Each structure stands twice: as C-alpha cells, then as structure tokens.
Amino acid sequence: KAGVTQTPRYLIKTRGQQVTLSCSPISGHRSVSWYQQTPGQGLQFLFEYFSETQRNKGNFPGRFSGRQFSNSRSEMNVSTLELGDSALYLCASSLEITYTGELFFGEGSRLTVL
C-alpha cells in the first residue's frame, strides 16, 4: 500500500514568489492535514481537510491557503514568499474510523526561500 506522497520534495524560491505543494494521501484516507516544521518552532499545524472541506486552520497568515479535491488529493499554496517561510512542509493523511486515528506523514516538501 503506497504511503503519503508529496511533491516536489525540494524547491528553492525567491522572496515575493509563490509556491504550490501537492499531497496524495494513502488510498482510502479522506482526511488530510498540513504541518510546517522548522528547527525553532517544531511542527505547527496549518490546515485540516475532510471531503473537500476545510475543517480547521492554524494560526498562519492569509498568504497560506489550501484545498482538497474530490479524490482526496490536497494542495497548499504560499503566496508572496518570505525568508521565514523556509521550512519542511509535511502532509499527513488519516483514516478517522480507527481507534487512534493516527496521522500518516509524507516525507515532506523542503522549501528554501532566498
């Protein structure tokens, strides 16, 4: 069974540009969430989607947005990039009917903003 797939794995952008990251969840998983990981702040929640609806949003500026498609694939977009947006962006999917509902993470998209 394929795991969570994120593309691209690495990318370099300059300040002011925008970026789109993609996430394909594990087959059958309808819940997708996004996290930003930095050395200073650790993992911080960005968004949560279920059946194309955003269920929750973290404390990030409006430059961060996302969406989920009918096949459960998700994308997140960051506009007007800032140096501080350099981070590892992790996507996770979940099969919520299990007892734990644990998150299965992808290997992430590492964004460097110059």
Partner 1 sequence: GQNIDQPTEMTATEGAIVQINCTYQTSGFNGLFWYQQHAGEAPTFLSYNVLDGLEEKGRFSSFLSRSKGYSYLLLKELQMKDSASYLCAVRLANSGYSTLTFGKGTMLLVSP
Give the sign of the dihedral formed by CA 67, CA 111, CA 106, CA 92. negative
Q: Taking the CB of residue 91, how many other CB atoms lie within 10 A of it?
A: 30
Are residues 11 and 112 in contact, defined by beta-carbon separation less than 8 angstroms? yes
Q: Residues 36-75: x/- map of binding to partner 1 (CB under 8 A)?
A: -----xxxxx--x-x----xx-x-----------------
Q: Which stretch binds partner 1 (CB under 8 A): 12-20, 35-43, 67-75, 79-87?
A: 35-43
Q: Which of residues 76-95 bind partner 1 (CB under 8 A)?
A: 90, 92, 94
Distance between CA atoms of residues 3 and 29, nearest Å: 11
Collapsing DSSP to helix, strand or coil, 85 comes out as helix
Residue 9 near partner 1 by CB under 8 A = no
Which residues would be at the binding site for partner 1 (CB under 8 A)? 4, 31-33, 35, 41-45, 48, 50, 55-56, 58, 90, 92, 94, 96, 99-108
